[in-house]
Structure 1
Amino acid sequence: MRQLITAIKQKHEKDGIDIYPGAMLSEIDTFEQKIGFPLSDEFRRFYLLCNGFGCNEDIFNIIPLAGIMEYADNYGDNWFYFSEYMIYSDIWGLRYLGDCRYEIFNATHPTIALTSSLTEFLQRFLKGNVFDPGGLYQWHQELGIPY
């Protein structure tokens, strides 16, 4: 996860990116209490290394924990939005399925799972940002998710 965050930072340094310092365990515990379920190990590692980032490319962000908790519309009984672009023009979330199972979805089509892996999601962003070949929207198309 550390290498992936470093690669994203290096790719976007010229255009501008802010990598936020990692969250403290107490912040993660508070977040989990607020949303009502435990984070996956992958999300926990990510937030310990970096409490989100803000990228000028496509105005794409991984939302810091405090930012998610700030608005009740950002989370529900078994899900929360963790990523957005163009000031919430599009949003991606994590859904907890129980029994340590999770899936990442896009808010436009919330019943369709993209992946269960934050690493895969971030690799897609690293490869093609939101719109470029190999990026998040091409991934949606490959999975048959209409736009």
Structure 2
Amino acid sequence: MAIKDIINRIKTDKAKLGITLNAPASFSDIVKFEEILHITLPDDIKTFYSFSNGFESDEDMFRIIPLEEIVDNMKERDTYTESNGDFHIAEYMIYCDMWTLHVDSNDSNQYNIYNKTVNTIVLTNSFSEFLTVFMNYGVFEGLYTWRENLENKTK
């Protein structure tokens, strides 16, 4: 599913999904974010943030983190990231757990979203897939089950 399809689903079903959208990030907000973090966001993630600068949900207080909050979070080194340029793009229960974005420095459209607890499990290289799993199954039956299934495959 493409990011535009995800956006259309959120527009149509946001009440049913329990999602409260933030105002869109402007083009200049996105450019400023990229300049501060010395990163180019993947195209699909730029498209999403142009639609909504993150969102909050009723599902265990799961959120897609707004750009300015990501910048604030980068001020201190985080042991839940694998490398210095990585940043949390989603969280739940006020940062009880986070999902992190790693963007390839040579190709911004090559990225992965991972979750790090004791070990790091890469969930996907698609923001659309990440959002689809959350919207279809939630945090526990969706994101955590997905992580658990992937972790079991690597054992």
Cα distance in 2 between the residues matched to 1:86 and 1:117? 23
User: Higher strand proportion, which one?
Assistant: 1
Q: Shift of the alpha carbon at 1:99?
A: 2.1
Seen in structure 2, the aligned counterparts of structure 1 residues 15 and 38 have a Cα distance that, compared at 3 Å, is closer
1:95 is matched with 102
Q: Which moved more, 1:14-23 or 1:30-39?
A: 14-23
1:73-112 matches, cutoff 5 A = 73=76, 77-100=84-107, 101-108=110-117, 111-112=120-121
1:44-99 deviations in whole A, cap 9, x for unaligned?
11101111000121110001101111232478732111100011000001012222
SS in structure 1 of the partner of residue 151 of structure 2: coil
Is the Cα contact below 8 Å between 1:54 and 1:61 reproduced in 2? yes
SS in structure 2 of the partner of residue 59 of structure 1: coil
Cα distance in 1 between the residues matched to 2:90 and 2:39? 18
Seen in structure 2, the aligned counterparts of structure 1 residues 49 and 85 have a Cα distance that, compared at 3 Å, is same
Cα distance in 2 between the residues matched to 1:120 and 1:55? 17
Cα distance in 1 between the residues matched to 2:53 and 2:16? 21
Is the Cα contact below 8 Å between 1:12 and 1:57 reproduced in 2? no
TM-score of the two chains, using structure 2 as the length reference: 0.81
Provide the aligned C-alpha RMSD in A: 2.3
Instruction: Tell me which of the two structures has the higher relative contact order, counting C-alpha pairs closer than 8 angstroms and 6 or more residues apart.
Output: 2
Cα distance in 2 between the residues matched to 1:4 and 1:89? 25
2:138 is matched with 129
Could you list the runs of 5+ residues in structure 2 that have no partner in the other structure? none
2:125 is matched with 116
Matched, 1:20 2:22: yes
Q: Which moved more, 1:11-20 or 1:63-72?
A: 11-20
Identical counterparts, % of pairs: 38
